[in-house]
Structure 1
Amino acid sequence: MKRITAFLTLFLVMALASCKSDKNVGENPFFAEWNTPYGVPPFDRMTPAHFLPALERGMSLHDAEIDAITSDNDAPTFENVILAYDDSGQMLAQTELIFGMLCAAENTAEMQALQEQVMPMLAAHADKILLNEKLFERVKAVYDRRAALELDADQSRLLEKTYRGFVRAGALLDAEQKARLKAINGELSLASVKFGQNILAENNNYTLMLESSDLDGISANVRDQAREKAEAMGKKGKYAFTLHKPSLIPFLTYSQKRELREEIYKAYLNRCNNGDEYDNKQLINDFIRLRTEKAHLLGYPSYADYVVDDEMAGTTDAVYKLLNEIWTPALESAKGELAEMEELFKKDHPDGEFASWDWWYYAEKVRKQKYQLEEEQLRPYFSLENVQSGIFFLANRLYGITFRPIVVPLYHPDAIAYEVLDADESHLGVLYFDYFPRDGKSQGAWCGNYVEQTYKDGRRVAPVVSIVCNFTRPTSSAPALLTLDETETLFHEFGHALHFLFHDVKYRGLTEVEGDFVELPSQLMENWAFDPEVLKQYAVHYRSNEVIPAYLVEKLRRSELFNQGFMTTELIAAALSDMDIHSISEYEPFDPMEFERKALTEKRGLIPQIEPRYRYPYFSHIFDGGYSAGYYFYTWAEVLDKDVFEAFRESGDLFNKRIADDFRRKILARGGSEDGMAMYRDFRGKDPDKRAMLRSRGLWNEPEPVDSLAGSPEPAEGFRVKAVPEN
C-alpha cells in the first residue's frame, strides 16, 4: 500500500459511486460540515447513494478552482499558483480517501460495480488537471523564477515537488502524446480494479471443508476457529479452512495430513491462475504493455526506471545491487534450513520429496527440536487485547502519548476507536482498529487515513487514522490469540499510524515521503515487539494472568534467527520478480508464470521448496497497489530502520526519550518536507549503515568496514556475509 502501508496506495485513489446519483442529494453528508466527535466521518449517515454526487461535486469544485488559477490575469506567484493549487481539490481528496479505505475494508458486489464506474472518471479528471497546458505554464513560470522568490525551505520544497509532479505526469509531452497517456491511464485504472476484484473473489471462493478425523495435529484453538467458520457457513459439525492467513498458516504448520497441506497450499499459490473468469494473466500482460508504453512516452527505458527515478534509490542498478547482495547468502541460508528439515521429513516419508507445502510443518518441528519452543506455547500470552496494550505502553514510554476509547460513528461493528492524546493531553488525532477477516475485506494489513492532517485557517486539523488487519478471530472459548507474525504486524502498522498521527505539515503537497522511506516508521516499531522489557508489559497469559516466564523469553531470543533464510529468500524473490517484470523495455506478449520461472529459478537458482512471497497473478502490491517496481521498498527501508534502532541500542536505553523525540521531530512530524535521506542524516548524524540489517537476518560476519546506503543511490559495498546463521 505506497504512501500509507504494506498494502494500500491503490485505495487512496479508489472511490465508490452510485447509479442513484441524484437521489437524496439534500441529505448527502459530504455536502455539509460534519458535526461529529473529533471530526470523524459520519459513517452512520453514509450510503452508496451519496458517493457519486460527492465525487461529481468534488471534481466540479476542483475544476473551478483550477480555472481560477489559469484565468488569473496577475503575474504568476507562489501564492496565486503554487499555494492555490495546493489548496485546491480538498472535497474531492477527502471523498476519495474515505471511499478508498471503505473499498479496501468493506467491499461488496455493489461497490465493485461502482469502482468500475468511477475509476476511469477519476483518472481522466487527474489527467485533465496535470496535463492542463495553461496551468503548467503558470507553474513553470514560478519554478523558473524560484531563485529570485526568497521562499522559505517548505515553500521551496513545495514548488519543487509540484513542478516535478507535473513533469512526471506528462506536462512536457505534445498533444498527441498527452492524448495517448490519458488513454493509458484510463485503461490502467480499470485494470487495477479488475485485478483486485479477481483476487478478492478467489480468496473467498475456496474452502477446505473437513471432518474431525482430518484434524490430526491441529490445536484446539485452531479447531475452534475452523468449527465456528463452518457453522457460520451452515455446515455444523464440519471444520472450514480458508485461504485467509489466520486459517491457512496454522493449517500448513500443524496439519499432519500432507495431502491436505498440499491441496490448500496449491489453491493459495494458484489464485487467479486457473484459466477461468478470475484469471489475471492477461491483465498482467495489459499492465506491463501499458506501463512500458507510458514509461517510453515519459522518456524512460522501462517502467521500473520511471518509478525508481523518484525514490531514494534513484536507479534500478542501486535496487538490484542491494537485492542481489542479500539474495545469495539468504538462499544459501535457506538451503541450510532445508537440509535440517529434510532429515525429519525422510523419517516420515522415506521415499518422498520435500515440497513447498512441507516447509511450515517441518520448520515448526525444527524449532521445537532445536529450541524446545512451539508457537502454540506462546499464543496464550499474546491475546489481541494485551498486544494492543503493549503498543500503547510502548508509544507512551517513547513519546508520552496516551489512548482513550471513544464512542464515534463506525463503518463496521468490528471497528473500535480511540482518541490519541499528546504528552500535554492535547488532541493529536483519532485511531480506528479493524482487526478481523470477513468477506469483502482485502487480505493483509494496512494503515491509512480517513482524514489527513492539514492546516485550516492557521490551525492544525488532526488526522483520523485506521489500522486494518486480518487477525485470528476470538472463539466462544478464547479471546483472539495472535501468532508471533500477527503480533509483529500490529507493531508494524502501528508505526505507520504514529507517522500519520505525528504529522505536522504545513502544505498538503508535502505530506508524502518517498516509497522506499515510507516503511521506516513501521518497520522500526517491530524492533520492540519482542524486547524482554516490552514483553513484561503485555505478554500476559489470558487465563492465569501470569507474565510470560523468563525461560520462554530466552527461548524467543535464542530463536530470533530461526527460519530467517526462508523468510529473506521469499521476500527478496518477490522483490526481484517485481523489478524484473517492470524492467521490460520492449513489450511482447508473455506467459507470466514462465517469466517468473526463468527469472527466479533459471537465472537465480530459487529452489523449488520455496515460492516467492507473491506470485504474479495475486501480487496485489505491484498490480493494484502502490508498489509497482517498488516491492524492494521494504528491504531498502529495513536498512534504515535497523540503523535507527542501533541509535537506541548505542544509548544504552531502548526507551531513550531524547532519541524518540528527535525521531518524532526530525522524521515523523515532517512528512515529505525534505528528501528522505536528508531527514535521515539530520536525525542520525550520518549515512545509514547496512550492518544492523544484515546482522538481524543472520547474514553479517564481523568485522569489516562497510559503506552506507549513502546519499547517492549506491548501496553499501565491502561487507562479508555468511551462508547459514549461527544459533
Structure 2
Amino acid sequence: MSDINPLLQKFDHPPFSKIKTEHFKPAFQKSLKAARKEIESIVSNSDSPSYKNTIEALEFSGNLLGRISSIFFNLNSAETNPEIQKLAQEISPLLSEFNNDLLLNTDLFKKIKYVFDNRTSHHYSEEQLTLLEKIYKNFTRNGANLDKEKQARLREIDKLLSLASLKFGENVLAETNNFELHISDESELEGIPNSVKDSARELAKEKAKEGYILTLDYPTYIPVMKFGENRDLRKQMFLGFGSKAFKNNEFNNEKQVLDIVELRLERAQLLGFDSHADFVLQERMAKSIDNVESFLDDILEKALPAAEKEIQELKSFALEKDGLKKFQKWDKAYYTEKLKQKTFDLDEETLKPYFELNQVIKGMFEITANLFKLRFEKDESLEVYHKDVVTYKVFENNKYLATLYADFHPRPGKRDGAWMTTYKDQYKHDGVEERPQVSIVCNFSKPTKKQPSLLTFNEVTTLFHEFGHALHAMNANTTYPSLSGASVYWDFVELPSQLMENWCYEKEALELFAKHYETNEVLPLDYIEKIKRSSNFMEGIQTTRQVSFGKLDMAWHALKSTKGITDVKAHENIAFASTELLPELDTICMSTAFGHIFQGGYSSGYYSYKWAEVLDADAFELFKKEGIFNESVAMNYKENILQKGGTIEPMKLYKKFRGRKPDPEALLKRAGLI
C-alpha cells in the first residue's frame, strides 16, 4: 500500500479513485484517535463549562471520523465486496466502543449537565436550545446515569447489535445475489416486457449460459410478477423473494432477528423503558405505543373493508378470465395489473417509453427550478465510486448550494431498494459555511443495446421520493450538522420525500418530463387522466399492506418480554393476523429480510410512512389550492420545512408552514377511502 492514505489527506469531495479497501482500517484508527483527543481536550479544559467550550466543541468534534464513516458505510451499501464486508465486521465494534466511551464519559456528562441545568440564565437561540437538549438527552438515553456495571453491559449490547445488524444485511444481499432462475425456453417468459428479457439474456451471456437468467433485483422481479403469464414462473420468483434469509442454510436470519429484538429490549429496559418502542417513541412525533397503534388501527378500520372487497374483485376477475379457482399471493400483482389495464385501458408497458430515465431527471430538475429556484449542472470532474454514478453541482441563484451523486442501476455489490444518504452535511463553523454532498441510490433497469433505461410509473414516483429527501438535505440552512437536513424526527423525515411524489400525478408537471423517448411526443392527455384516475386503484389493499408492515414492526419492538418467542414465523403470523387477505405460506417470511427495521433506522418507526402521508396529503392540498408551482407556497415550504432541518420541533414547523395542525382526513380523501 502507498504511504499516502487519501482518506487522511485534506479533501472536500470523496477521492474515490484513490481509495483502496486497505486504506480504511488505518484511516479509522487514526481518525478515532484524533476524535478521542478532541473529546479529551473538552474534558480537560479548566474553564467553567459553557455552550461554546462544551456543547459546540462536542458538536464539531470527530469531523474526520464522520466523513470516513460516511464513505465507508455508503460503499458497503452501494458498492460492497467480501473485503469491505469483512472490514465492516471489524470496524463496527470499534465505532460502537468509541460511541459508548463518549456517551458514558462521566466527566464530559458533568460538563454537559452543568450547561443544561443553567440554560435559563442565558439567552440561547431556539436552535442552540434544541442542540443542547438533543445532546443532553443523547447522553441520558444512552446510559450516562447508569452505574458502572450496567454501563458495561450497555457497551456489550451495542457491540453485539452492530454486528447482528451487519450480518442481517449481508445475509439478505447474499440471498438476493445467489438466486438465479435459468430459463432456456423463451415461451416461459410470455408477457414479460422485452426490456426485462433483453437484460436477462445479456446476464445469461455474461455467465456463459444459453437463454435467460432472472434475478430478484427489483427491475426484474417486479415486471415478472406483474406481467409474467407463466403462473409457475411467478410462483418460483415469489417464493424465492419471500424466502430470502429464511431457508435452512448459512444465510438464515432467524437468529439475527431474535438476537436483535432481545438485545434492543434489554437495552431499553436497562435505560428504564418498558420496551424498545417506548424508548424510540419518546423522540418521535407520535410519542407513545398507544398513539401508534391507534393511528394504525384507525387507518385499518377504513382500509380493510375496501381491501377485502378489492381482493374479491381480483378473485372474481381471475376466475372469469382464466378459470383460476385458488387465488394465491403470486397472483395478486399479475391480476391487479390485468384488471387495471381493463378498467382504465392503461398498460404500464405502454407508459414506459414516456418515462426515459434521463428525460425524467431533466423534468424533475425543471420542476425543482420552478418551485425552489435551483439549477443542476452535470459535473464530470468529480470522482465516483462506480461508472454508473452521475454527479451534479446544484446552484441557487448562481450560488453553489450542494453536490448530488445519482446512482440508479442494480449490480451485485449493491443492496436492493432506494435510499438517500450524505457524504457531508451542511453546517456553519468558524465563519465558514460547509455545503452538503448528497447521494440518491435506486435500482432501475439498466439501458440495453436496444433501448435506454425506461421507468415504470412506480419507479418515477420512487425517484421523486428519494429526490424529496435529497432536497431536504441540499436546502439545509442550519448552524449545527446534527440538526441539518433530514436530521429530524423519524416520523417527520418522510414528509419532504412523499410530498414530491404528488407532482408525478399533475398534468403541468408530467408535461415537463413524460415524453416518448423515440418521438419526443408528450404523454397524451387521456393517459394523464388515466394515471390520475388509477392512482387510487386497489388503494385498500395497498394501505392494508403498509399498515401490516407497521404492525409487524410494533409486534417485534413493543414487546415487554421475549420469553417464549422462539419462532420468528409464528410471531410474524400473529402480527399479520388482522391484515392477512390471502392464504399464508409456510416457506416465506418477511421479518428475515425486513431491512428497514433490522438493518435500517426504522425500528418502531415503520408507521411513519403512513404518518407522513397524512402530512404530505394535507401539505399538497395547499399547493393544489394555490397552484402546484405557486412561488409563495413553495418558498414558505422551503423556508419553514426544507431549510430548518431539526432545529425546531416538527409540529411547530408544520404549523408555521400550514398555519394549523395537519388534517388526517386529507389522506383518506386522497386515497378514496372516505
Task: Report TM bin, short chain.
Answer: over 0.9
Partner of 1:712: none
**1:595 and 2:571 are equivalent in the alignment:** yes
Contact persistence 1:574–1:615 (CA under 8 A) = no
1:598 counterpart letter in structure 2: I
Partner of 1:572: 547
Counterpart CA distance in 1 for 2:499 and 2:589 is 23
Counterpart CA distance in 2 for 1:32 and 1:203 is 37
Cα offset, 1:241, TM superposition: 1.2
1:121 counterpart letter in structure 2: L
Counterpart CA distance in 1 for 2:221 and 2:482 is 41
Matches within 5 A, 1:198-277: 198-210=171-183, 211-236=185-210, 238-277=211-250
Contact persistence 1:162–1:509 (CA under 8 A) = no
Counterpart CA distance in 2 for 1:312 and 1:614 is 30
Partner of 1:129: 102
**1:309 and 2:285 are equivalent in the alignment:** no
**1:360 and 2:333 are equivalent in the alignment:** yes
Cα offset, 1:362, TM superposition: 0.5
Counterpart CA distance in 1 for 2:193 and 2:86 is 40
**1:516 and 2:494 are equivalent in the alignment:** no
Cα deviation code 1:226-251 (max 9, x no counterpart): 21222222223x11211111101111
SS of the residue corresponding to residue 123 of structure 2 reads: coil
Match of 1:410 among 384, 408, 417: 384
Cα deviation code 1:75-131 (max 9, x no counterpart): 111111111111111111111111111111001011110011111111011000001
Matches within 5 A, 1:499-578: 499-511=472-484, 512-578=487-553
**1:645 and 2:620 are equivalent in the alignment:** yes
**1:33 and 2:6 are equivalent in the alignment:** no
Cα deviation code 1:325-355 (max 9, x no counterpart): 1113322212222112212221355463100
Cα offset, 1:269, TM superposition: 0.5
2:131 counterpart letter in structure 1: L
**1:690 and 2:664 are equivalent in the alignment:** yes
Cα deviation code 1:472-510 (max 9, x no counterpart): 111111111101111000000110111111011101232
Cα offset, 1:614, TM superposition: 7.9
**1:471 and 2:444 are equivalent in the alignment:** yes
1:32 counterpart letter in structure 2: Q
Matches within 5 A, 1:668-707: 668-700=642-674
Partner of 2:394: 420
Cα deviation code 1:659-704 (max 9, x no counterpart): 111111111111110111111111111001111111222212xxxx
Cα deviation code 1:270-304 (max 9, x no counterpart): 11111210000011110111111111001111101
Q: Which runs of 4+ in 1 moved over 4 A?
A: 609-614
Counterpart CA distance in 1 for 2:434 and 2:226 is 46
Match of 1:157 among 127, 130, 136: 130
Contact persistence 1:359–1:609 (CA under 8 A) = no
How well do the aligned residues superpose, as a CA RMSD in angstroms? Answer: 1.5
Greater displacement, 151-160 / 369-378: 151-160
TM-score, normalized by length of structure 1? 0.90
Partner of 1:710: none
Partner of 1:661: 635
1:285 counterpart letter in structure 2: L
Unaligned runs of 5+ in 1: 1-22, 701-727
Contact persistence 1:574–1:614 (CA under 8 A) = no
Cα deviation code 1:118-156 (max 9, x no counterpart): 111110110000010000011001111111122222221
How many residue pairs were aligned? Answer: 668
Contact persistence 2:164–2:256 (CA under 8 A) = yes
Counterpart CA distance in 2 for 1:71 and 1:695 is 59
Cα deviation code 1:205-258 (max 9, x no counterpart): 00111121211122222221221222222223x112111111011111111111
Counterpart CA distance in 2 for 1:611 and 1:550 is 43
Cα offset, 1:611, TM superposition: 9.1
TM-score, normalized by length of structure 2? 0.97
Cα deviation code 1:379-432 (max 9, x no counterpart): 01011011111210110010111111111111100001111010x110001111
SS of the residue corresponding to residue 448 of structure 1 reads: strand
Contact persistence 2:6–2:15 (CA under 8 A) = yes
Cα offset, 1:437, TM superposition: 0.3
Cα deviation code 1:170-220 (max 9, x no counterpart): 111111110010000000000011000000000000011112121112222
2:502 counterpart letter in structure 1: N
Partner of 2:596: 621
Judged with a 3 Å threshold, the aligned counterparts in structure 2 of structure 1 residues 668 and 48 are, in CA distance, closer, same or farther, namely same
1:525 counterpart letter in structure 2: M
Counterpart CA distance in 2 for 1:362 and 1:305 is 41
Cα offset, 1:609, TM superposition: 5.3
Matches within 5 A, 1:34-49: 34=11, 39-49=12-22
Contact persistence 2:165–2:599 (CA under 8 A) = yes
Match of 2:370 among 397, 413, 423: 397
Counterpart CA distance in 1 for 2:190 and 2:203 is 18
Counterpart CA distance in 2 for 1:547 and 1:508 is 42
Judged with a 3 Å threshold, the aligned counterparts in structure 2 of structure 1 residues 265 and 251 are, in CA distance, closer, same or farther, namely same
Counterpart CA distance in 2 for 1:301 and 1:349 is 52
Partner of 1:586: 561
Match of 1:326 among 299, 308, 328: 299
Cα offset, 1:455, TM superposition: 1.8
**1:435 and 2:385 are equivalent in the alignment:** no
Unaligned runs of 5+ in 2: none
Cα deviation code 1:508-565 (max 9, x no counterpart): 2322210001111111100001211111111011111111111111111221111212
Contact persistence 1:295–1:303 (CA under 8 A) = yes
Counterpart CA distance in 1 for 2:128 and 2:648 is 11
Cα deviation code 1:16-49 (max 9, x no counterpart): xxxxxxx53x311122222xxxx31111111112
Counterpart CA distance in 1 for 2:403 and 2:306 is 43
Counterpart CA distance in 1 for 2:54 and 2:187 is 70
